[in-house]
Structure 1
């Protein structure tokens, strides 16, 4: 019998061994299958993610395109509406009613001429024509020499409006797009003819770029073949009237035109790759007079978005593969150990079948493998053991359950103590209320903040004790909804009363609690003390409207107040005045006594103004030492009296710092409203011009703006040059000239001064002296500085790439030293062109340094740290030349040409130049002589040991574009 049992056991072991081999192979099958499944999941997830990202990207672009379309349409509609409002305003201009009634061309011409300049300057009107009821031209003003099909189309529009007496606003696109308004003129209910005005869409395109940040171009179709020029895309037979960022975007359009022969493909939006960057182009047709004549193309750089999508997909794939590898390793280890355990159990199961329970338990214990986590094999082993020890197991389970309940009770007690400690230490008021709104508990922070103890508030109404102001019917109703469970939460802010009489601003959150009996809490109330936050919030709101130094309104708030006062004055027909002034010699006080003295002076001025003006007058500090006063409901004489009082009051004060006494004076410009301006921009401009007139009178004076003085001529000049500068920026009409500077000893020319010129519409080359003053006054000077810097560095990099080693001197304007963008642009350009900073120098005049000496010196130090150099121009002209030579970190001084020009004839100039050279060499500076116009002068400066020479004898300025051509020819 025993032999039979042993034989059966051996057979069972043999079968078990065969099964064991199959089990070992199972882990490889499972690992391979799971690998294929996980790999498929990773690939599917990458594909779905890619589709989702692209769909989201396309949706965002479509939304962006709809916004672009709305913005473009709004800009065109606003342009048309503004023109129509201007047309309606014309009969109400001074003298126009009488001139239109008598329909006298000369009278209309003389009356409207002063208004034409303002329309150009403030409304960008390009032309205006007046026609009588018989369609005959009465008067016209035109800054573009407009010619519309020999005026046949214009005559048709005028005749149509004269007959229908209804305005029309066609958009006509030929060489460029002009928005027209043809409107009837009604004077006292009578038809007095027709007015025609037009505005170019160029300003609207620039406004779109500022608003959206995308590049935009205006495309006009041509019937004839296009000329070979920079403004044509030949494959589409179109002319580019205007294009932002032209240098890059023109290449992009030509590339797209080669890929898409039909321009209509851009209507749905396309994406292209150009120079490792991704751009999206979208075509919008313009609703012009001639259908399918003009289009707007919007070019958006989406490189970062596309790269982000690609990076995201690669990251997802990498993470997925990494997870797959880790999962496979983990599965392999798990199945290896699991199958080993299963083998051990299977080996001892025959003992259980034979009834040898004790031996089974011993064998199972000897083959047991310790595992951190239980699994099905452990369950199988435990089930087998339980068959032999059912009674013992039941007793053991009862014992285990008893111990478990004790442990759970201890854990619950610890959790309750932890929650109580947490509530007491939380930096928030935590209290509970019963179903009637009476306080049941309060944490320690609530006791500290309210000064009440928990026992003092228990049983008292929450609303009556802590927030009595909230005893409104609406608040009681909301609390009842929370108590009843209709509302889960209630948020509100309330003034919470403390026991000591103080109040705190608390943000409350009341949450409904499910209670089973009246003794349990019904509401949990958590209060966060926001008193300090409210105080800081109020202070920040005050700072947003005030100048923190003088406590006066800042420029933004002052402009809002001025706009409201002008609106009230127009509604109730009450005249008013604006006083605009700055302090005389304020920069001198700052430079000699320090900025602390300047701040003290500004505070004194603000205090004196508060004592001088009326209660309803409004004072503001607009920036620096500029102040302004709004005088509502006052006549010109009253405004003049206030200006005199301000000057007298300022004249009584003086500031003594470091044994140096400074007196206070100001120059005040007076502008009346609505006489001198019906909006803040016109009024501030008039007051600003009047202030400069006061300075011209000798400072410490006032000046009342007048339409009859030469200020109007100045506005006309500014308008003229402002339009030329903006046109030149848009059409890239600024060019760089290079004038050679020769090393006197070696006779080598390796250095050039960069000079700026403007190409006029007729091809005339304009000097900077013509347009730089207007650029400084209109705020366009920074854009010119940036343009010159970029063009000069790009030109120098091109010369270096051609194999020529030269250096440039670039002139900086006086405003460059308060331009925070100049230094970052310089760094970016030098880096992008991989240019050695040592080959770039900057020229600065004494006048520019005097504008802001600390700012000039600080910027010069930062630029020199990059490796660039500096030249002090016009050396010797000012009395303080030697002072600036010591204070400014310059490398080269350029002796003013007024001393060099007559060296061969004037002994005095010879003495002066010798003296200037001695001083410059004493400071270790190199010396350049300009205006070297003869061989005799060059011979003289050679004997003076001057380093460099510049002038017409050395070489005249020539366009930078010709430099490489001449050098390559000379090779």
Structure 2
């Protein structure tokens, strides 16, 4: 027992020096622990940032409500103040008189100067109904309000008889309110009041603790210009600290719209979050925008501190976990090394060498455990694998011979043969299938069978037939559809699908055999075409035309929509046949057919009824439209003489027109009346057109052919 024990310990020492599974396991588990630690750190940081953003979102919404409330408060105060001033003595009289006199103006100015200082109003103005300014008071010289905006505000007040407000920042930002002045129910003028928004900005800073900047277009401003934004900042809290910050902000974000949604920017060791909102959100129709500037340095510092603490905790946990993992890997994986070095021998077919190696290790074991059971199982498995390998080699040889035979038969057959799995995926295709589709055999494998069907609407029908092979136990299913090749060519193919029984190594469940029936389909199509068309001109023949005429007549009789039937008889056709032969006559007939086809709409039906007689059916056409068609056709024939064999012939057509359903109670009567009209056109002279009227019956003049 001593010898084998020493040998076992020697082998164990060699295994411990070998870098194998235990180190791979250690590496992967280390990566897992590191990933978990990183995930913990990331989740902690994400949670803190999510809370930060949620708080900021709530704060920004509060800022917007506070700003809206403050603007509304100032606007309401100015409107109420305007109403109070209007109710004062002599104000209405001043409006009625127009411009006050010199003494009255001085008294009014003194009175309103006192009122302006007491109410913190920087501008008081009176306007007549026509828009001219009657009187104005300001603490100092101030520029006039912009003409366009002033007139728009006054027009709004006069039209709606409601106050209007707007913001004007030149040189100071004043919120202007315009109040209608009514006397005895009549509009006698408008009072304008302007108040600085400085108090609004200061009050907002006091309420929220957040700085604010009002940015407007820079036209006319001297100071506080942000050149990159072409804007001015007439109102800004803590201007000494924030003016350089705004310059830096405009440099980082040349487009102010980039500030929508909030942006973080550091300046002089302080982190600011800036939110931009259009000024029109608070004061309707105002250009410019408002910036909420929040100092978030303390919050971000706290988040960084908490994140670092989480990172230290995760790193400590990772170190402890790594030490425990290293211990477990070295203790538990060590005994499996010998076994893992033996298994490759079984995979390589060296069954005898594997049994010898397992037997040595099995004898050296002093105590049996689960790994010893693995050794016993591996010994038994080696015997079974050896026997199975020998049987499999013989079977593979037999199958290879059968496969070669079947493949030769499939490749020689002039039919498409493919196999599909239960999901309709092609597993195998023969060479003829590759030839017809234009895809290589390997390219067909893995494609859906229904993708070979050209008609997309038929895909569901084919899938249903294939499903029936499984669900209802049918042995076969068949259908005929066009197959689309790689280059877009179509081949009509008749398919027969047969369900395979049993399991197959390539997952094949259905064998599909397709026969290319292109020649049969072409012959059938040619026969159908010949049955409905004139072979000389390619137009519809009499049989097809009567079918279309009958269908159109039934439709117009039901809907009461007018249609038109035109019968053509060529003038001088017999002369051309007699002088230049039938070949010339045939050429003329083909030319007439091409000209009619060129002039007809898609909904029209053009036919050659026989000889030199043609017919055109014009749905949704009245008598005027039909006559226009006929005159233009005859005009074309007159302008382009028929030339054959260096001879020129002037041709025309006598055309009779009958309207559907007005000129007949049925198709035969419509045809007879159109023929009657054509006869009257011929009597009137060559190249004429006549619409059917109730002529006296002359049955002898009705063409037997049209009846």
Higher RCO, Cα 8 Å, sep 6+: 2
Bigger CA radius of gyration: 2
TM over 0.5: no
| Band of TM-score, shorter chain | 0.3 to 0.5
